[in-house]
Amino acid sequence: MSKIQNIFKVVSNEKLCPRFFRLCIDAKSILKKIQPGQFIHIRATDGLEPFFRRPFSVYRAQKYVEIFYEPIGPGTKNLALKKKGDDIDVLGPLGTPFSLPSKNIKQVVMIAGGIGIAPFLAFSDILKKKKNLELILLYGGRTKGHVYPMKEFKANGVKILVATDDGSIGAKGRVSELFSKVKTDPKTTFLYTCGPTPMMAAVQAFAKKYNLQGEAACEEVMACALGACLGCSIKTTEGYKTVCYDGPVFDLNKVIFH
C-alpha cells in the first residue's frame, strides 16, 4: 500500500486521564487509507532529538487521524507539548491491519493492557456495523490513573471489563483475571490483543488452552519502520518477521513471545 509522508496540522491534543493523551491530526490523505491495526510514524521533535520517528497505532480515523499515547520518553513528551495549529510530520499508513472476523464469528474479545488499548477504538467503530456480533473489551491498567471513561467504546456497544494491578478500579490483578468471566467457544469466538509482551503471552496461553483463534498487534522498538533495518524483528513459528512490515498484526498462535 502506498505511504504518505507529509506535514499536517494538529487539531487538538487533550489529556483524557492522568496518564493518557489523545492527539488529533488533520491528515485527510492518510485518513482515507488507514485501517485499524495499522500505525503511523511520527517525527516527534522539531529539532534533532529523538532522531528516529516514533510509531503510534491509529486510535480513531473518522474526521481526523487520532492517536492515543502516554508521555513516557522524549518523543511522547514532545508530543504532549503540541498545540492546535502546530505542524506535525507524519508517515503512514504502515503495517498490516486487523483482519475482519469471518461470518461464523459471533463474539469478538479484545484484550488490551495499558496503551495497548490504542488500536481497538477504530476497530470497534468498524465491528459495531456487523450484525449479531458481541463485542467485549478486557482492559488491564496499572492503576486507576491508567483507566479512562472509554465512553466511545460504550457508545459502540462494547461490553467492558476492567482490572487494575492495585484493584483501585475494577477487578484486582492482571487482565488475565478477567478471562474466566467470558464464556468463549472455539467455533464462534475470536480474540484480538495488544499490550505488554507478558500479557499477550498470557492471552496466547488462554487461546491455546481453549483452542481459540486470534490476532496480536505486536510492538517493538522501531527505526526505519519500512522493513529495511530488521531492527524490529520478532520470532514466529514461521521464522523471524518484522513488526513494522510483516506486522504489527500477527496470528496470535504463531508469535513466539519471549
Strand residue runs (E) in 64-165: 65-69, 87-94, 107-113, 134-141, 159-164
Measured from the CB atom, the residue of 68 and 250 that comes closer to ligand FAD is 68
Distance, CA of 248 to CA of 243 (rounded, Å): 5
* The three cell numbers locating residue 169: 478500579
Q: Return the one option of ligand FAD, ligand FES, none that residue 229 interacts with (CB less than 5 to 8 A, by type).
A: ligand FES
Quote the CA–CA distance of 248 and 88 in Å, as a whole number. Answer: 23
Range 192-251, binding ligand FAD (CB under 6 A): 219-222, 243, 248
State which of positions 19-58 bind ligand FAD (CB under 6 A): 39, 50, 54-57
> CA–CA separation, 23 vs 5, rounded Å?
18
Parallel, antiparallel, or unpaired: how do β-strands 189-194 and 171-172 relate? unpaired
Q: Is 160 among the residues that bind ligand FES (CB under 6 A)?
A: no
Q: Closest residue (Cβ) to ligand FAD?
A: 73
Residue-wise DSSP of 164-231: ETT-SSSEES-GGGGGGGS---TTTEEEEEES-HHHHHHHHHHHHHTT-EEEEE-----SSSSSSS-T
Residue 74 touches which of ligand FES, ligand FAD, none (Cβ within 5-8 Å per kind): ligand FAD
DSSP 255: B
- In the chain, what are the helix, strand and coil shares in percent, each to the nearest 5? 20, 35, 45
- 40 vs 178 by CB, closer to ligand FAD: 40
Is residue 100 within 8 Å of 123, Cβ to Cβ?
no
User: Quick check: 232 binds ligand FES (CB under 6 A)?
Assistant: yes
204/242 with CB nearer ligand FES: 242
> Going residue by residue from 183 to 222, which x/- string records binding to ligand FES, judged by CB under 6 A?
---------------------------------------x
Q: How far apart are CA 179 and CA 187, in angstroms?
A: 17
CB of 93 to ligand FES, least distance (A): 15
Q: Which of ligand FAD, ligand FES, none does residue 114 bind (CB under 5 to 8 Å by kind)? A: none
Instruction: Pick what 50 binds: ligand FAD, ligand FES, none; C-beta below 5 to 8 Å, kind-dependent.
Output: ligand FAD
Which one of residues 8, 64, 68, 153 is an interface residue with ligand FAD (CB under 6 A)? 68
Q: Residue 70: name its binding partner from ligand FAD, ligand FES, none (Cβ under 5 to 8 Å by kind).
A: ligand FAD
Does residue 213 contact residue 253 with C-beta atoms inside 8 Å? yes
Complex with ligand FES: residue 160 or 223, whichever CB lies closer: 223
Q: Which residues bind ligand FAD (CB under 6 A)?
A: 39, 50, 54-57, 67-70, 72-76, 115, 118, 219-222, 243, 248
Q: Which residues bind ligand FES (CB under 6 A)?
A: 222-225, 227-232, 242, 244
